[in-house]
Amino acid sequence: MLLAAGLGTRLRPLTDRRPKPIVPVANRPLAGFAMEHLARSGVRSVVANTHPQPELVESTLQAVCPKGVDLRFSREIDLLGTGGGLRTARTLFDDPHSPVIVTNGDTLFAPDLHRAYAAHVDQGAVATMILRPTTEPERFGAIGIDQNGWVRSLLGTPADGRVREALMFTGVQILSPEAFSAMPESGCVIRSAYRQWVDSGAPVLGVIDASPWADLGTLAEYHRLNLELASGSFTWPGLEPRDGCILPDSFEPSSSIRMSVIGADVEIAAGVRVDRCVVWPGTHVTRPATNAVLTPQHRIELS
């Protein structure tokens, strides 16, 4: 399942025009990256929940859905949260008796799903969380695991002497069929179902995966990740920067465009320099820009 119903409030004003799952990143809809990785991992059926501007989100994601993947939508009239979204979408899953891989539509992360899925099944977990090391586990709601990988503390509680390491939750998880009985009608899956499982000693597994991970929670993070993809410091299969930029086919690398992402149907006036910018499709750039996100409606300059 692809979680794609969030409001993206911290990305405003960008998300006033395009909901977060389809905000362009390196000239691709953001949630398309997660769908690509699911497809590369062998997933052939995806359910995505939607909420703001559902028709636009659904048509955009359908257009970039990888070949051979059946994409279905669970449209939420009221925003249900991760737990409620999972509960509502369950009726759309192909096989109600098989584990479900769940991933966020607003991160770039390519974990080893084969390894995590095998561990989940072999260990008989009710849920498996894909975790990664961080120097600030408390900032991300520390998940504590014991020496065998079982989750013993959640969001830093309870204090448990068996905890060997505190890590961050990447948002990718695998849920057994029986896990859905603990899902709330609305609300957060962590503070409801996971809280119940960890406190009662149910088998929740943590699998560590240190693959590069990026969350586009803020405008600064959005801008930075686009530039990292353009420079090649953050790589993704099939993404090929040209001279430190990501450009549509109609553009050739130019000294007036430096370390930027330029969308389709962009017009840059003669003599105008664009440096470390993200330029959305259809934007007309009439004056120089540095460290900015440019759209047809906005000019957002970042320090």
CATH number of the domain bearing residue 133: 3.90.550.10
Positions of E strands within 176-303: 204-208, 213-215, 257-258, 261-262, 267-268, 274-279, 284-285, 289-294, 299-301
Residue 155's pLDDT is 84
Quick one: pLDDT at residue 156?
78
H/E run at residue 104: strand 100-104
Q: Are residues 242 and 123 in the same domain?
A: no
Amino acid 276: pLDDT: 96
The pLDDT, as a whole number, for residue 225 is: 96
Answer with the one of 215, 249, 281 that is the final residue of a domain.
215
Is 150 in contact with 206 (CB distance < 8 Å)? yes
Note the pTM of the prediction, 2 decimals. Answer: 0.91
| Cβ neighbour number for residue 209 with a 10 Å cutoff | 18
- Whether residues 196 and 255 share a domain: the answer is no
Statement to judge: residues 210 and 233 lie in one domain: no
Q: Are residues 94 and 131 in the same domain?
A: yes
> Given pLDDT bands bounded at 50, 70 and 90, which one contains residue 138?
confident
Domain C-terminal end among 171, 186, 215: 215
192 and 239 fall within a common domain: no
Model confidence at 158, pLDDT cuts 50, 70, 90, reads confident
At 300, is the pLDDT very low, low, confident or very high (cuts 50, 70, 90)? very high
Residue 200 is predicted with a pLDDT of 93
Of 164, 195, 215, the domain-final residue: 215
Buried b (16+ CB within 10 A) or exposed e, 223-242: bbbbbbbbeeebebeebebe
- What letter would DSSP give residue 140? G
- Please check the confidence at residue 137 and state whether its pLDDT lies above 80: no
Average pLDDT over residues 42-53: 95
Helices (H) and strands (E) in the chain, counts: 7, 20
User: Residue 34, Cα to own-chain centre: how many angstroms?
Assistant: 6
96-118 confidence digits (pLDDT tens): 889 999 999 999 999 999 999 99
Q: How many domains does the chain have?
A: 2
Q: What is the pLDDT of residue 251?
A: 86
Read off the DSSP letter of residue 22: G
Residues 242-289 have pLDDT tens digits of 999 999 988 887 889 999 999 999 999 999 999 999 999 999 999 999
pLDDT at residue 252, as a whole number: 81
Which pair of tokens denotes residue 153?
């503390």
How far is Cα 186 from Cα 3, in angstroms, rounded to an integer? 14
pLDDT higher than 80, residue 140: no
Query: Distance between CA atoms of 240 and 244, rounded to whole angstroms?
Result: 10
- Provide the token pair at 265: 């149907």
Q: Do 37 and 89 belong to one domain?
A: yes
pLDDT at position 159 over 90 = no
In this structure, what is the dihedral angle of CA atoms 48, 51, 56, 60, given to the nearest 10 degrees?
-20
Return the structure tokens found at 65.
């859905």
Q: What integer pLDDT is reported at residue 206 of this predicted model?
A: 97
Residues in the chain, total: 303
Is 26 in contact with 261 (CB distance < 8 Å)? yes
27 and 55 share one domain: yes
Residue 167 and residue 229 share a domain: no
pLDDT(177) > 90: yes
Q: Tell me: pLDDT of 161 over 90.
A: no
Give, as one character, the DSSP assignment of residue 27.
T
| Same-domain check for residues 51 and 173 | yes
Residue 254 has a pLDDT of: 83
Average pLDDT across the chain, whole number: 93
| Domain identity same for 164 and 224 | no
Give yes or no: residues 200 and 225 share one domain. Answer: no
Percent of the chain at pLDDT > 70 equals 100
Segments forming the whole domain that contains residue 167? 2-215
Beta bridge partners of 8: none
Six token digits for residue 242: 């040209």
Provide mean pLDDT across the span 150-177: 88
Distance CA 20, CA 9 (A): 9
Dihedral sign for Cα atoms in the order 92, 95, 99, 105:
negative
Same domain as 66, residue 209: yes
Report pLDDT for 250: 83
Amino acid at 302: L
